[in-house]
Amino acid sequence: MYDQAKLEELEKISRLIRYHSLSMTTRAGSGHPTSSLSATELMGGLLFGGAFRYDLAKPDSPNNDRLIFSKGHASPLFYALWAVAGAVSEEELRTYRQFGSPLEGHPTASFRYTEAATGSLGQGLSIGVGTALNAKYLDRLPYRTYVLLGDSEMAEGSQWEAVQIAAHYKLDNLIGIIDVNRLGQRGETMLGSDLDGYAVRLAAFGWQTIIIDGHSYPQVLDAFDRALGSEEPVMIIARTIKGKGVSFLEDKNGWHGKALDGSELERALKELGEIDMSVRGKISLPEDLRPEAAEPVEAQERNFPPDKPMATRKAYGKALARLYPQFPRIVGLDGEVGNSTGAETFKEAHPERFFEMFIAEQNMVGAAIGLARSAKIPFVSTFAAFFSRAYDQIRMSRYSEANIKFVGSHAGVSIGQDGPSQMGLEDIAMFRAIPDSVVLYPGDAVSTDGLVEKAAAHEGLVYIRTTRMDTPILYGPKEEFEIGGSKVLRKSEGDVASVVAAGVTLHEALGAWEELKKEGVAIRVIDLYSVKPLDQAGLLDAAKATGLVITVEDHYPEGGIGEAVRSALGATGVPVYCLAVRKKPKSGLPGELLDFEQISQKAIVAKVKEVLWRKKSQALQVPGYGR
């Protein structure tokens, strides 16, 4: 069926790929050669057998097929493929796993042919869902997404989230390849060599399955040909041998993640036979098409009546709908709570730009990575608490340099009677911990709108925290909000303390200002809407002017606003007191819970009076710290 000369050429290519995989890991003294050897024919057949289409000179071309190594530990194979294609030099291969090399131990965006950072298993198929959604529904281009999967990672629930959603959206342009080599890191995988076990499960979800011998080029090439004609997502289930090609490695436990030493490498290379270092594989070029895209146009002006309170979660959806014409690369994703997060407003206005991802947050974030890597601006929304389920995907998105905007609603105890399972109280800490992230926490509808606009324009990861309850409008329609800024809402020459708050507690602080004013006590109220980066200069001015800072947040103290402010002001010697959620939350009315956690107007007033009394009585023994 296949030309004998072509098959012989592929066999030569396989020997060279194996040579590179073994040599570079021995040179580095670490890596995963056996995991690379098992998938050599699978990936050699894909790239150089005619199915895969890619312009090596244009890695960012929207027409290129996507190749995602979900089993990112097989990076020696990944880099060897591009070397055999003529895109990576042998000299560059020699830098594998060295400090500063783009050829890192697991693929990251620093390597020019990496679609997304992988290595934390169970994420690649979700990323592939995102790139496939982009091709079919947004750019409307004929490129396909191929995802190499390890059999061990098929135990991850995120894989089955991706399998379900791919069938739901009929992603016939998504092709997975399971490298069933039987052995994981410490022994046999859950299903071992039970290829039918994988097939039955996947077929039940609506995937076409193709079972093959993963070391037979005729079967490999035939499988990719069949996959190209499918009307469903396809999973190629390949029986392979870990360490294939080297007798003392083949199907042997204990070699996972272990490089060969010099003498072992010499033995292995002899078994591979003659290596033709000059052989090169040819990758077919894709069509040169333009993706469907709208041109940016100026958005309509904000419209939030000053006398009508609105929850920031609702303002988020309105802002996204308003701003889409200005940022036509925006895409909305939501975890089946769009009527609560406000995302349904965007869905109603621009249904072709919205994907319902259901209660499957890990896959939702993974798909957002794929969309972001396809030059879209995904806004991903769910309850703030539920992002904790997808934190691994969120942290990995940073290594993909994915331009994603996360929006967490129903944050804090102020959501009320739903109780602690629904209360996001760790989210600020989660997102602050990610390098180069931006964390925004608007206090009213106008600031929400302004910060959504800044988030859309910002290149990089942004988290916007929104709340459930309606809050009064604080700002005029023309007010501008900068990332890294803050707003001073109440100020006088006689201020004795600066109260720093955001979101719901900002309104509690304004109430405290009113109450204390009646008693002749003046405080400064600061809206710290940008939690990261924060307005260090503005905070320093306030601290020096008032000599005392009190932070108030509807969040646990660890990693929250208080710790951020203390860090910014640590060198000043100005005392910083932090009011935060310190008791295990309960169900109750919002006001009851704010009082219970001592982050309400009443608690702020009490703390200001307590600290001033201490100051007057000179009883403050540890300046700079307190509750």
The pLDDT tens digits for 552-603 are: 999 999 999 999 999 999 999 999 999 999 999 999 999 999 999 999 999 9
Q: Answer whether 93's CB lies under 8 Å from 173's CB.
A: no
Task: Assess whether the previous peptide bond of 533 is cis (omega < 30° from 0).
Answer: yes
| Mean pLDDT (the chain, rounded) | 97
Tens digit of each residue's pLDDT (9 = 90 or more) over 173-201: 999 999 999 999 999 999 999 999 999 99
Is position 140 within any domain?
A: yes
Q: Are residues 446 and 533 in the same domain?
A: no
Residue whose pair of structure tokens reads 């057998």 in the numeric block: 49
Is position 478 within any domain?
A: no
**Of 146, 176, 173, 166, which is closest to residue 236 (Cα–Cα)?**
176
Q: Are residues 263 and 355 in the same domain?
A: no
- Going by pLDDT thresholds of 50, 70 and 90, the confidence category of residue 617 is confident
Which pair of structure tokens corresponds to residue 614?
Answer: 């201490």
Stretch 69-88: mean pLDDT? 98
Number of compact structural domains in the chain: 3
Q: Answer whether 391's CB lies under 8 Å from 298's CB.
A: no
For residue 584, what is the domain's CATH number?
3.40.50.920
Q: Are residues 70 and 207 in the same domain?
A: yes
- Going by pLDDT thresholds of 50, 70 and 90, the confidence category of residue 2 is confident
Stretch 39-61: mean pLDDT? 98
pLDDT of 535 higher than 50 = yes
pLDDT of 26 higher than 50 = yes
Predicted local confidence at residue 64, as pLDDT: 98
> For 279-328, what is the HEC assignment?
CCCCCECCCCCCCCCCCCCCCCCCCCCCCCCECHHHHHHHHHHHHCCCCC
pLDDT of 454 higher than 70 = yes
Tens digit of each residue's pLDDT (9 = 90 or more) over 271-306: 999 999 999 999 999 999 999 989 999 999 999 999
Query: Cα(530)–Cα(441) distance, rounded to whole angstroms?
Result: 6
- Going by pLDDT thresholds of 50, 70 and 90, the confidence category of residue 616 is confident
Q: Are residues 561 and 450 in the same domain?
A: no
Stretch 218-225: mean pLDDT? 98
Is position 475 within any domain?
A: no
Q: Which residues are catalytic?
A: 361
DSSP string of 165-219? HHHHTT-TTEEEEEEE-SB-SSSB-SSTT-HHHHHHHHHHTT-EEEEEETT-HHH
Is position 281 within any domain?
A: no
Q: Are residues 534 and 415 in the same domain?
A: no
Where are the extended beta strands (E) located within 486-606? 487-490, 498-501, 524-527, 530-532, 549-552, 576-579
- Going by pLDDT thresholds of 50, 70 and 90, the confidence category of residue 625 is very low
Is position 480 within any domain?
A: no
Q: Give the phi and the psi of residue 354 in degrees, each rounded to 5.
A: -125, 135
Q: Are residues 60 and 95 in the same domain?
A: yes
Q: Are residues 18 and 137 in the same domain?
A: yes
pLDDT of 619 higher than 90 = no
Which residue type sits at 621? Q
Q: Are residues 443 and 339 in the same domain?
A: yes
CA dihedral (56, 59, 64, 65) in degrees, to 10, reads: 90
Predicted local confidence at residue 615, as pLDDT: 86
- Going by pLDDT thresholds of 50, 70 and 90, the confidence category of residue 369 is very high
Q: Are residues 77 and 8 in the same domain?
A: yes
Is position 470 within any domain?
A: no
pLDDT of 520 higher than 90 = yes
Query: Cα(579)–Cα(576) distance, rounded to whole angstroms?
Result: 10
For 2, which DSSP code?
-
- Going by pLDDT thresholds of 50, 70 and 90, the confidence category of residue 618 is low
Q: Are residues 150 and 15 in the same domain?
A: yes
Is position 486 within any domain?
A: no
> Which residue range(s) make up the domain with 322?
312-465
Is position 146 within any domain?
A: yes
pLDDT of 1 higher than 70 = no
Predicted local confidence at residue 620, as pLDDT: 42
pLDDT of 504 higher than 50 = yes
